[in-house]
Structure 1
Amino acid sequence: MFDFITKRSFGFNLLVVIVLFFALALLFFSMLGVITKHGQQLTVPNVKGKNVVEAIDLLEKAGFEADVRDSIFIDSLPPLAVYAQTPDNGAQVKVGRTIYLTVNKTVAPMVKMPDLEGFTFRSAEMMLKSLRLNVGDTIYKPDFAANTVLQQLFNGKRIKPGTEIPEGSNITLIISSGTGSVENPVPNFIGLTYAEAREVLSASNLNPGTIIIDPNVKDTANAYIIKQVPTRKNEIGDYNMVRAGETVDFWLSATKPEVDSSKQASPDQQEE
């Protein structure tokens, strides 16, 4: 064979090479349709919501490859259910194309609870959504800072920022509805313990403001109110008025103040 090539002229050998090149090129392009399966297209079936094992089996029987590309947690989907597929169902693709699947996780990942108190409701909602948490119930309570988050609750209890909870959890928000339009006399808190005062505040839809505590106080809940602002009455003896959602400041002492019992109203009488 080598002698056959060397005994021929350069021009003849070049011609042979060119002919072979075009013959191989012609063969390649004629087989290209078979290699790439040109014209052989199938419709991608819908496997969303199906268990991943069932989805892969269905895709392979339909002439496709299947690969789990990513995972996500959606609380409304069963574990290992297909959340998304690429290409989407109904797409026309070539036989043997790989269909990439996003599957729902079996266990919810844990996320840290953010501090939402003081946020507007819209900002709190966006923050929860970014962490894949949900807004559960919204409870409105009178307060001067309208439309802001006053408290955040999980399973009915106040939750501290940084506490780890499952992704997809529902967070209850207590939202300020602003101050009321009706004015009522300020209750008289002098002589009450702070715990009793909190009950009166709650019943009156008022909030505690600044709390100044005497150094001798060891138990804040059982400390006594010795001063309040606003006071029950003003300098000329008229009742001071407050609206629902406003605050009352307190001064606490370990010693109960001497109160004229004839002028001291009980908590039930204070709203009269």
Structure 2
Amino acid sequence: MKSNHFFKSKFFLIQVGIALGITIVLVWITLSGLKWYTHHGEKLTVPNLYGRSLEEAEQKIDEENLRFTVYDSIYNPKYAPGTVLDQRPLAGAIVKRNRNLFLTINAHQPEQVRFPNLVDNSFRQAYELLITNGFKIGRLEYSKSQFFNLVLYPKHKGDSIGAGTMIDKGATIDLVLGRGNTFGVLAPNLMGKSNAQAKEKIILSNLNIGKVEFDESIVSHSDSLNAKVFKQYPSYNEDRKIRPGNNIDIWLTRDTLKLQQADSLLQQRLSKVLY
């Protein structure tokens, strides 16, 4: 009886109220602290740093309350040393304050690497070796040979290049391949692919990259990175083969309506072929 009386007493109710009030205050302080620490609800737009010098980029990043790390450096003779050539996240992305941006800058001079042996390898093996060693794939040329896609010899700036030669990393390498007895290859379906994805698929289909055009929706470097293929020539057709080494032209856009219409037309054309 006495204990029941105690739990109903004014003193007990006051103590419970004080404890409840302290708990509410502590929870509020904790949540407010978390919001401050994580910058909850705060949104910043990542600036476009492409083409700026590292000093200009650093100043802009500091003004926007962001941070940066130089993640990589590559050499491009078109730009001054220290120029920002890539950034992650891309310009326009929404981030929180103090987000770290990863920058790729232009090196002062190209790094040189020893050229691998490609002769008598298959094209796919040569492709992997070139990409792994930091080279770019240039033109594919086909010459008389009984073995299709066998590497006869690689070329750089028009001259053949031998294994072991020291060459700039990032250099563009052309490949002379065996024609074999092939009757042709299929043009790949590039619809909806990015520029980089389309180029890779063209090369791996034993074809060459032709004209690359961007429509009026592309106004910045960031736009070009996010553009998708809405047209190609020759078009994808499972019933028609083209000669290895032929060009494929592509047109890119960021216009989602164009992409939807192009995909719809492709599906209609393919359904007519199938049925």
Q: Scaled by the length of structure 2, what TM-score is found?
A: 0.49
The structure with the largest helix share of the pair is 2
Q: Scaled by the length of structure 1, what TM-score is found?
A: 0.50
Larger radius of gyration: 1
